[in-house]
Structure 1
Amino acid sequence: MNSITESLTFRVPLSPKSHALAEQFAKQQVSQKRAKEVYLNTLAVDIGQNFLDGLDFETNLENADCFNPVLRIAEDVADVIIPDLGVIEFRRVLPGETGFFIPEFVRENRLVYVAVGFDESLDFGDILGFVCLSDLTESNGYVSLEMLQPAENLLDYLMQLEAGRDFLLSDDPLAVEFRKAVEFHKVVEAETREKSLGLMAAALEVIYRQYPDDGGNWRGKGGKVLAGDLPAVGKVVEERMAVATRDEVGEVVVESKSVPRTTQKLAKQLLGKLKEIWG
């Protein structure tokens, strides 16, 4: 275990190379405001990647949104991918700020949002804490620092999700049935699996955490997860609750999505197995 976890200070230094890359990306932007955001986002991602590397997690920046030059111009993104687990968003917090805002573009498909605090010198960044996507469904997109879980808890949370993901990818008959079910519902496509499996594990984990003894919720809530009802922040949640289509005269028709009983039964069995793993 390296110095990051040994000291529990979670302070990550920034090298001249980090600043050089941040400056390179910033120069590609069309406004000073956007250039500053991209500069800080690039530093936050560098801090986040080093932090995760220090926790012995493999990371992938090549496919991250923040390393896509088009998205970097159009969207406020600072993400790091953990392959076959999911995406972690690192949000900048400047001196005097008491929280951070989650842009609409990143209000879903993220496992957690990690606050990275900067001082005026930009010589280092502090990992201030994190909040799970599944705990932000009532949020308007703003996260107060008071809402954050301690940074040292992130390792345990990610390891828990890894254990759930490993089971979902295993040869256990229940896991095989799960993969057939989500393929049927077109939830996990091959090209997005590394971002989706962790989200499903996270969504099942919050159901287990809130209803550890089932209480009749494993079938209904778990079934919705298997059918693709994954967590998102604020307004995005409302948009996912119903699919609206317009007919030729402009009337809105709301379609409700029912979950087959077989999927609900599978969800209950999965949560029972995950309870053994997570308990």
Structure 2
Amino acid sequence: MYIIETKNLSYSYDGEHQALENVSISIKKGKTTAVLGGNGAGKSTLFLNLNGVLTPDRGKVFFDGKEVEYNKKGITEMRKRVGIVFQDPNDQLFSSSVKKDISFGAINLGLGVEEVRERVEKAVVQTGIGEYVDKPTHALSFGQKKRVAIAGVLAMEPDVIILDEPTAGLDSKGASEILNLLTKIKEETGVSVILATHEMDIVPVYCDDVFIMDHGKVVLGGNVREVISKPGILREHSLRLPRMAHLMEILSQRDKLNVDRTAATISEARASILSLMDG
């Protein structure tokens, strides 16, 4: 079941150059989907079209099988159901305290005081930020601000969370913590997650499906193994294989070992190599 589908979606900022051109993607409900591509690929423009911040020039967007109407009512509904977490949390957080920031989106949904309070408390627990919920946002670390930004979106209880480069600006420990947090939230709430990333190694560990974008077009899509099985297309569009899949490619091509070239995590590679040894 798809939570979001686009059909031939196109958008131009200036009426001449296509930021998106005939983009057709399908986002599975309750899954994590990665959108990969370099700067200018169209990822952020796509996200803003999915959230209703931008209105497509052509094409259609479907949410839960129903076509989105880009009128006031339709856009308002879309923004309720699709939340965006920006790459830099400083672009998203502007209130004087953490609690006020988390409350902002829920308040703007027109909810009552008690429901806002309950949603904020729930989001605080989900993101593990209870120890600094009463602090001023400017006193937080970059990673803590990321969690607060996620909490603010969760308080709106969306069906889809879009994250633009969620690991940007974080060290390896902080990046793992954020990605594990997103996985936990997805499993607990059933929310669908869409993320843009340039970190290829996180894709096979945390994602179910992948779309590759370049110059406003989708050039490849499928589940992780399907996409990894096409390294030529990845490299053609300035992307690399995850390191473990690259190792398996080397073992296959150079060492002539009959390993699984789509194995892209440590556990998958280990299983493939052990199977070869047992055989």
TM-score by length of structure 1 reads 0.27
Larger % of strand: which?
2
Larger % of helix: which?
1
TM-score by length of structure 2 reads 0.27
Which of the pair has the greater relative contact order for Cα pairs under 8 Å at 6+ separation? 2
